Amino acid sequence: MSIDKDTVKHISKLARISLDENKVESLSKDLTSIMKFIESLNKLNTDKTTPLTSIINASLKSRKDEVKDGKIRDQILKNSPEKNDEFFVVPKVIE
Amino acid sequence: MSKISELSLTKIVNGIKKKDFSSEEVTKSFIDNSKKSKKLNTYITECFDEALKFSKNFDKKKDYKGLLSGVPIAVKDLFCTKNVKTTAGSKILHNFIPTYESTVTSNLWSQGAFLLGKLNCDEFAMGSSNETSFFGNVKNPYGEKLVPGGSSGGSASALAAGLTPATIGTDTGGSIRQPASFTGTVGLKPTYGRCSRWGIVAFASSLDQAGPMTINVEDSALLLQAMSGYDSKDSTSVDKKVENYSSNLTDKIKGLKIGIPKEYRVDKMPTEIDDLWKKGIEYLKDAGAIIKNISLEHTMYALPAYYIVAPAEASSNLARYDGVKYGHRARGKNLIEMYENTRSEGFGNEVKRRILIGTYVLSSGYYDAYYLKAQKVRKLIKNDFDKAFKDVDAILTPSTPSSAFKIGDKSDDPVSMYLNDIFTVPVNLSGLPAISVPAGYDKNNLPLGLQLIGKAFDEQTILNLSLAIEKRANFKKNYKIWWS
């Protein structure tokens, strides 16, 4: 499967990464070679194989549903690039 | 003074306890070495003043109860450290100061160790050469032009150069074992679930595992013991008693059965790697082990499966970097453009490639063809190991297909870089423990490692086998200091 330039642009959009037009070509080449490498898996018939869901045979523990680390608003906001009192600030989303 | 920094972690811990030297003397010795090591580019953040202060307080309090009492330790910059910048080697986190501490590092601190600094690594641990770090590539003590391996390259280089008595890294596809092999040090990836992943910057959550990096096997056992354990904050950590790896450590391995998988004899493998492997077999035979040929027939599919699973998980883990809650933020006319510009400016090329691959294989209509297929292949790879472990106690392979390569040699071709992890990746896909132990040199006198793969939660056996190899290989670091 080759990843052409339009596909590169499409998945960049999905991944929310803006791309310079001049980088699209080389990305298309790199991603195509990676996908070719990945597609060697097609040689292997897995019709009768069930997919792996967990690598360690341990059942998940249940726990009480309780707040243990609440009231840390200031800590959560501390690394925000832009904040206003107790809010994260983002560009306007509603006209 | 500089002699202290030549000692192993175990000897330092014992020396402090016996008052042969103080924690302050130890700390000063490693700080001195670290300050002279700028050319290696191992540190992203230095915590030398704080470490010195801690050591002085320690010497006053004289509390020797911990496994690591009074020992300064620098760690990979992927572990969140409270109030100390944690970058993951990325521009997008260049200013991130966690308000919490990762479980694994807090385990070390509660055993009496303290933070010396944060070590360089490939961006978000994605790389095998430390060339993808936003903070520049790290150099290998074995040569100014050589990579230290990756992604825990800063950790491996700092350890090999005597800048920290021991360190911890993370291993998603080989990121502890490959740099350990390239720098003549011991690197252990524990069983998935042995150590908590809480507070470690996530790359691929079903593969990531933290582990010890040390100058010898004895230290590896000690550090593994200190960092392991169940953590209610990581639902994938396993509630299983942590063994006393140190006091159980023995090189008496007579009668253990060791598997040699024929599929690891790959095309174009340098003869010196094959020779090293044969030497490893001889060492273990000499120690009384029984060698058995085994087959892990799906080995060749491990890397392609890994390059679906890891990027897929990475693309969703890295969706959190949006310029809103923390980290770098770029300008944009609207919210979407702000996201897109932030992520474009904040991530480097390799991280972008992997996010895009991950996004592609998970995108609508492709899930069954790629991700589901990879999880099926993963099952087959795990079945191979399960079957093999019915007949053998551990598996011996080379750690890497070559010794350390030159900076720039593979950075233009992502797939040739990926092939570096050919021997290490199957272990991550199967959640098993594995260790790389230095066992010899190539024709240019560069270190080479052997890998021992164990049954789940049987770190003790691979530590014991490594000790048997270590005693026979008699590996000594043989570089000349060129950086100070």
pLDDT in tens, B67-97: 999 999 999 999 999 999 999 999 999 999 9
Any idea what the Cα angle at residue B82 is, between residues B76 and B84, rounded to 5°?
60
Evaluate whether residue A69 is within a structural domain. Answer: no
- What's the domain range around A25? 5-43
Average pLDDT of every residue of chain B: 96
Percent pLDDT > 70 in chain A is 100
Q: Do the domain assignments include residue A15?
A: yes
**Active-site annotation of B, residues:** 76, 151, 175
**Nearest Cα residue in chain B from A30:** B414
pLDDT at A57 over 80: no
B267 by Cβ neighbours in 10 Å (0-12 / 13-18 / 19+) ranks as exposed
Q: How far is it, in rounded angstroms, from Cα B275 to Cα B271?
A: 6
Look at B379 and A35 and tell me if their CB atoms are within 8 Å. no
Q: Helix-strand-coil percent breakdown of chain B, rounded to 5?
A: 40, 15, 45
pLDDT in tens, B351-391: 999 999 999 999 989 999 999 999 999 999 999 999 999 99
Taking an 8 Å cut-off on Cβ atoms, the answer to whether A55 and B328 are in contact is no
Listed by number, the residues of chain A in 55-74 with a beta carbon closer than 8 Å to a beta carbon of chain B are: 55-56, 58, 60-61, 63, 72
Per the structure, how many domains does chain A have? 1
Structure tokens, B241: 């008693």
Task: Tell me whether A1 touches chain B (CB under 8 Å).
Answer: no
Confidence (pLDDT) at A68:
82
> What phi, psi does B58 have (nearest 5°)?
-60, -45
For chain A, helix, strand, coil in percent to 5 are 40, 5, 55
- B227 token code pair: 């960092």
Are B292 and B260 contacting, i.e. CB atoms less than 8 angstroms apart?
yes
Cα angle B102-B39-B24, degrees, rounded to a multiple of 5: 55
Who wins on pLDDT, B359 or B484?
Answer: B359
In a domain, A90, yes or no: no
Q: What is the pTM of this model?
A: 0.97
Note whether B121 and B152 are within 8 A (CB).
yes
Judged by CB atoms within 8 Å, which residues 9-38 of A form the interface with B? 11-12, 14-19, 27, 30-31, 33-35, 37-38
Q: How large a percentage of chain B has pLDDT more than 90?
A: 95
Within 8 A of B233 by CB-CB distance, chain A residues are none
A12, B285 Cβ separation under 8 angstroms: no
Is residue B289 predicted with pLDDT exceeding 60? yes
Q: CATH number of the domain at B4-257, please?
A: 3.90.1300.10
| Separation between Cα atoms, residue A83 and residue B2, nearest integer Å | 48
Q: How far is B5 from chain A (nearest CA, A)?
A: 36
> Given pLDDT bands bounded at 50, 70 and 90, which one contains residue B272?
very high
Give domain status of residue A73, yes or no: no
Q: Tell me which of B231, B338, B357 to substitute to probe the interface with A (most A C-beta atoms closer than 10 Å).
A: B357
The pLDDT tens digits of the residues spanning B422-469 come to 999 999 999 999 999 999 999 999 999 999 999 999 999 999 999 999
Nearest to B125 by CA among B207, B187, B181, B182: B207
Indicate whether A91 belongs to any domain: no
Asked whether residue A62 is domain-assigned, the answer is: no
pLDDT at B1: 41
The DSSP code sequence of A17-35 is ----HHHHHHHHHHHHHHH
| B270–chain A nearest CA distance, Å | 22
Sign of the torsion angle spanned by Cα atoms B397, B401, B406, B410: negative
Q: By C-alpha distance, which of B221, B151, B198, B188 is closest to B10?
A: B221
In the block, which residue shows the tokens 């790959």? Answer: B266
Q: Provide, as residue numbers in chain A, all residues whose Cβ is less than 8 Å from the Cβ of B323.
A: 81
Distance from CA of B204 to the nearest CA of A (A): 14
Q: Please, which residues have CB within 8 angstroms of residue B14's CB and are 6 or more apart in sequence?
A: none
B118/B42 Cα distance (integer angstroms) = 9
Whether the link from the prior residue into B151 is cis, omega within 30° of 0, is: yes
- Helix (H, G, I), strand (E, B), or coil: what is residue B210? strand
Q: Do A15 and B191 touch (CB under 8 A)?
A: no
* Residue A14: inside a domain: yes
**Residues contacting A94, CB < 8 A, separation 6+:** none
Residue B377: helix, strand or coil by DSSP? helix
Q: Measure in Å the smallest separation between the Cα of A29 and chain B Cα atoms.
A: 10
- In A, which residues are within 8 Å of B361 by CB distance? 38
Strand partners, B440: B448
Q: What is the pLDDT of residues B2-22, one digit of tens each?
A: 489 999 999 999 999 999 999
CB contacts of B353 in chain A (<8 Å) are 27, 30-31, 34
Q: For residue A52, is it within any domain?
A: no
The pLDDT-based confidence of A63 (bands split at 50, 70, 90) is confident
Length of chain B: 484
CB B71 within 8 A of CB B108: no
With a CB cutoff of 8 Å and minimum separation 6, the contacts of B287 are: B251, B252, B253, B254, B468, B472
